[in-house]
Amino acid sequence: MNEVLEVIKNRRSIRSYKPDPIPKDVINSIIEAGNQAPSRGRMEEGSVQFQPWRFVVVEDPEFKLKLIQTTVPFWKQMIEGMKESQPEMYEDTMMNYESMDEPKDVIYYGAPVIVFVIGPTDYAVSCALACENIMIAATSLGLGSCYVGFGALVTGNTNVMEALEIKEGERIYGPIVLGYPENDSSTMYGIQQNRKEPKIKWI
């Protein structure tokens, strides 16, 4: 099979990582892949710019702790909603949560690197394409990745927002966690995500 198609096929959302750091040159290669994503242009300082995004790479343990403390309450609120509708899944999830070491990182999965893709609110498609490039590049370099929607729920923390330099009219796409996979951890809440055959209409 074509190497690119093989990488796309093998990409999985990984939710358990080794603590091993990722070399800076590898991170830069992954970011550059994101930067090469297609995008529509936007006017900026009298010229058309075709890369509306920017990237914030988080490795600092103290800042990660702030992110976890900010986002875990939203996760707990979501899980609480499963208590009545899916009691068995709720019990399993909470048992796994309670057994975790501190800090209980159910959002960023203990990944050594968190990449925030930040861009204008009206450029969601372009920024999403950059996120996809990042995850495919990570897989090609032997790394795991996961797009973590809960990780964007940091807008209520002033310190985090200042550090990310979020401006009016911008939003977080992702973030994406990166790291060396601990094991085959592509399941969520113990449920294996199976790929369906594509639905195609030929005309």
> Which residues is 76 bridged to in the sheet?
none
The percent of residues above 90 in pLDDT, for the chain, comes to 75
Q: Is residue 47 part of a domain?
A: no
Output the pTM of the full model.
Answer: 0.89
Which of these ranges, 62-71, 132-141, 156-165, 178-187, has the smallest mean pLDDT?
Answer: 178-187
Write the CATH number for 123: 3.40.109.10
C-alpha 133/C-alpha 111 separation (Å) is: 19
List b or e across 85-109, with b for residues whose CB sees 16 or more CB atoms inside 10 angstroms. eeeeebeebeeeeeeeeeeebbbbb
Say which residues have a Cβ less than 8 Å from residue 45's Cβ, sequence separation at least 6.
none
Question: What DSSP character marks residue 149?
Answer: G
The percent of residues above 70 in pLDDT, for the chain, comes to 93
Average pLDDT for residues 117-125, to the nearest whole number?
A: 94
Only one residue has tokens 């495919």, namely 136
* Residue-level pLDDT at 184: 63
Residue range 28-52, pLDDT digits in tens: 999 999 999 999 876 777 766 778 9
Domain that holds residue 142: 13-39+52-179
Question: What DSSP character marks residue 194?
Answer: P
Token pair of 157 as six digits: 């923390």
Q: Is residue 69 part of a domain?
A: yes
Q: Are strands 54-58 and 47-49 parallel, antiparallel or unpaired?
A: unpaired
* Residue-level pLDDT at 152: 93
Residue range 49-106, pLDDT digits in tens: 778 999 999 999 999 999 999 999 999 999 998 888 999 989 988 998 998 889 999 9
Q: Is residue 7 part of a domain?
A: no
Q: Is residue 187 part of a domain?
A: no
Q: How many domains does the chain have?
A: 1
Q: Is residue 46 part of a domain?
A: no
Mean pLDDT, the chain, integer:
91
